[in-house]
Structure 1
């Protein structure tokens, strides 16, 4: 009876910690997100999602991402009138669900006590919190990935029914309709499943009898309708040249983003010392966990290693042909890295050693510093080296624009950002000398508001010229002043 009560007590504590961690992560992520301006990628999501479902599918095919998230956002935004709070909440809900499902997965693999420690670490990951409020598909992809992992684990258990493989196949296909980079996680799953098959008695079976191969085959079949579009997307040139090669520097940068939410080049001396201490502590924790784990636990640890390690390894290989790494493109597998660190800490702390307590303290301190840095940094764009503030600039223009003024955007990029906030009574013109606008600019293709000359003369009393860095257009009228926000500016002409 005592053992039963103890088990129930441990389970209850696990659920309390998991629920509280998911709630805390949601509150932090949403509160940070609501203080941020929408930036281009999010504005593009809104611009596409406001179209009809048929047009959403067409526009997605011209860009670099699949259509499922935009279709989901279309329905969600229509219900909640495109209010920014609710738009961000959709991603935050996916973040909270990801944490809960990961907790359930870790509990099944390692037990409630160790899983409770791990989920605290997961919930404090600043990279997860950062993309938890983004009006993009990354948080949803994280949820799909961890849910598919849970289904795969259940399907691998003894006497598991085929329905888990069916669920897994559907989730893999749904993931590919959400974010192509989820394929990196599916490769990780395949590597882990192959290792298990080789180590088990199933290695004597014909490979075509392995159920997971049939599950992947089913997922491919479900993805076939979109496959021709995907193949066209790989050569349409819509992917922005922002990727980095996966070098030793960027691999270490993956850890710095997950711990401190800072790239390596931005770390000062104090943060560098904290980063190195946390990294060493994490390595010690993983090493201890591996050495003291049971055979079953080692298999589960390998799954978490594959969760983050295989995607990085694939990107290293791909980097020989094309640079494809951007921190947000790995945000959906970051939860696996933090789960690995958290589980290793939990197993290490079970030894009750001072070294384990010190290591846990260093890692938690690093995560708290990372969360604090996220609060101050917000959605800083590390590719453009700027903090988005199109909201403030748009408010300056639309507050006095009314029917006698118009906004002139320096290019389609700026125009799409402005469209997230601009009033319908203040028209937005934009400059581009391209006869065809594709990729992320496809929604503006054929727009009557496109300007093809740098000499701009429009029949309005006031023009608000919005641009990044330095002005390139010559507007008719006298400039009456410029308002600056980081490297985004608005010059008022009358």
Structure 2
């Protein structure tokens, strides 16, 4: 717990919010009615997380650090929950090492320090596994004590589903773990099987509204918030799955040699320690149920990918505690004690890129504070500020210097995610403009003849927007200048477009 807190709580506001966190800050500022009535049909994350953050910010404020505190607390609690789970399943020594492994794992650490839902979802998943163990023990006993365990497991599973659509996979994995545990203990008699089916049906019925909402979002509009995921494909899913399950450090790009080397060390340690924990002669019901839940969770993610795009490193965080549990079990079985310490330290070294960068750099390199400082130091020339994404405009406004310029326009295709138009209108002072109307907008009113300043965040998701902007401006004579910024966030000036002359009014 001390190690988990020491890595998750310090300097939570050390760097600016990145794109997804800006979305959290903006969407959590909506009214309660909008969060429950409008947002569920636009956003790919169900509204419960935003409702939670809205309530939290009413108490703690909406500073960068305050927004991240719930995730940090959930990350610390997840380490404790994994320790309890492994102590019950494998003993105290394995629980100690499993908790330590999770505490320093780069993926879990990163998501425990960002204002997104994934650390909280991981905690709820671990609570579901704990509740599942309680149900597995009570389902074989006479009497009605199993009912409360079944109800608790169902409620936790439904909470996971309402936090994120990946929570449905978390719920299914928890029930799979219970089933494998009961099968391994040879306690699944007809009475216990009936109780297990009742518990599963209760959860399934309660999850149906979430399943229906997910189906509506993925099937009714090709331009909904999930549309961008469709182009990632199975190759991206396979790479993401291997990186997360093998606990490769989440930050590799700035580390061209050390990053892959650390990833290779982490993969080797995961493979060796998992084999050690499951080798012949040690395949107890507890171990096989744990490994089966991990493999089943991986399979469920791949099956879900066939229905709708969901396999991303962030959603796969649910599997990280299961991997950490196997690693802790493998380390605990090593002799002598110095070997256990050495293996753990080797794993810490394998996470070095993530442990180094997590306190210094936003995950996508978009340092909005640095951008605001650069803009404040530059001469103010009245340029029109154009953003290519609603939440980029929101971030630009959030970090601007007092009295500094705000985002004026957000370039949005006419057939694009409705969430972008909603967020632009509701959360920013910018005006959404379609590409075909951009030139007319720039040449009309107070904007005519003004220079342009384009906010560029280097993300593959915005490549098409940059191409559209280029296509709209170059034919009108506008030319881009040299961009200024750092890593993935830049400001690029453009010369004013050549506006068509307005016809003069006829004299009488």
Structure 2 vs 1, CA of residues 47 and 109 (structure 1 numbering), >3 Å: closer, same or farther?
A: same
Alignment of 1:18-33 (within 5 A): 19-27=1-9, 30-31=10-11, 33=12
Q: 1:89-116 CA deviation, whole Å, 9 max, x = no partner?
A: 1211111111112112222222223311
Between the aligned partners of 2:25 and 2:259, the Cα distance in structure 1 is 36
Is the 8 Å Cα contact of residues 401 and 462 (structure 1) preserved in structure 2? Answer: no
**What's the secondary structure of 2:455's corresponding residue?**
strand
Cα distance per residue 1:164-223 (max 9 Å; x no partner)? 22211111111111011122222222323333344455544068612x332232223333
**Distance between the aligned counterparts of 1:97 and 1:47, measured in 2?**
26
8 Å CA contact 1:465, 1:490 repeated in 2: yes
Find out whether 1:196 has 2:184 as its counterpart: no
Q: Contact conserved, 1:407 with 1:463, CA < 8 A, in 2?
A: yes
Q: Does 1:93 align with 2:78?
A: no
The match for 2:393 is: 415
Q: Which runs of 5+ in 1 are unaligned?
A: 1-18, 382-386
2:46, 2:165 within 8 Å by CA — same for their partners in 1? Answer: yes
Q: Which residue of 1 aligns with 2:356?
A: 372
CA contact (8 A) 1:407 1:466 kept: yes
Shift of 1:156: 1.7
- Residue 58 of structure 2 aligns to a residue in which SS? helix
State how far apart, in whole Å, the 1-side matches of 2:266 and 2:387 are.
45
TM-score, structure 2 normalization: 0.78
Tell me the equivalent position of 1:65.
45
Change (3 A) 1:223 1:280: closer
**C-alpha RMSD of the superposition:** 3.7
Instruction: For residue 462 of structure 1, report the CA deviation from its aligned partner.
Output: 7.9
Structure 1 residue 181 corresponds to structure 2 residue 152 = no
Tell me the distance in 1 between the aligned counterparts of 2:188 and 2:347.
40
> How many Å apart are 1:73 and its aligned residue?
0.8
Corresponding residue for residue 412 of structure 2: 432
Alignment deviations for residues 364-401 of structure 1 (CA, whole Å, 9 cap, x no partner)? 3323454225445x3333xxxxx112333245447889
How far apart are 1:321 and its partner, in Å? 6.3
* In structure 2, distance between residues paired with 1:322 and 1:229: 13
Q: Which residue of 2 aligns with 1:4?
A: none
The match for 2:446 among 459, 462, 468 is 459
Instruction: Flag the 1:227–1:56 CA change in 2: closer, same or farther, 3 A.
Output: same
Aligned to 2:16, which of 29, 37, 43? Answer: 37
Asked if structure 2 preserves the Cα contact closer than 8 Å seen for 1:437 and 1:445, the reply is no
Deviation at 1:76, TM superposition (A): 1.1
Q: Which residue of 2 aligns with 1:489?
A: 490
Residue number in structure 2 paired with 1:245: 234
Q: CA deviation at 1:417?
A: 3.5
Alignment partners' CA distance in 2, 1:89 and 1:268: 32
Indicate the residue corresponding to 1:3 in structure 2.
none
- Within-5 A mapping of 1:210-249: 210=195, 212-235=196-219, 236-237=221-222, 238-239=225-226, 240-241=228-229, 243-245=232-234, 249=239
TM-score, structure 1 as length reference: 0.80
CA contact (8 A) 1:21 1:120 kept: yes
* Residue aligned with 1:24, SS: helix
Q: Which residue of 2 aligns with 1:392?
A: 370
Distance in 2, Cα, partners of 1:308 & 1:420:
41
What is the distance in 1 between the residues matched to 2:344 and 2:275?
14
1:453-491 alpha-carbon deviations (Å, 9 max, x no partner): 222145268864323466636599999985333343324
SS at match of 1:333: helix
- Distance (Å, rounded) in 1 between the aligned partners of 2:342 and 2:63: 45
- 1:301–1:423 CA distance, 2 compared to 1 (3 A): farther
- 1:289 matched to 2:277? The reply is yes
Counterpart CA distance in 1 for 2:379 and 2:192 is 67
Partner of 2:500: none
Runs of at least 5 residues in structure 2 that lack an aligned partner in the other structure? 459-465, 497-508
Q: Which has the higher contact order (CA 8 A, sep 6+)?
A: 1
Contact 2:372 2:399 in 1 (8 A): yes
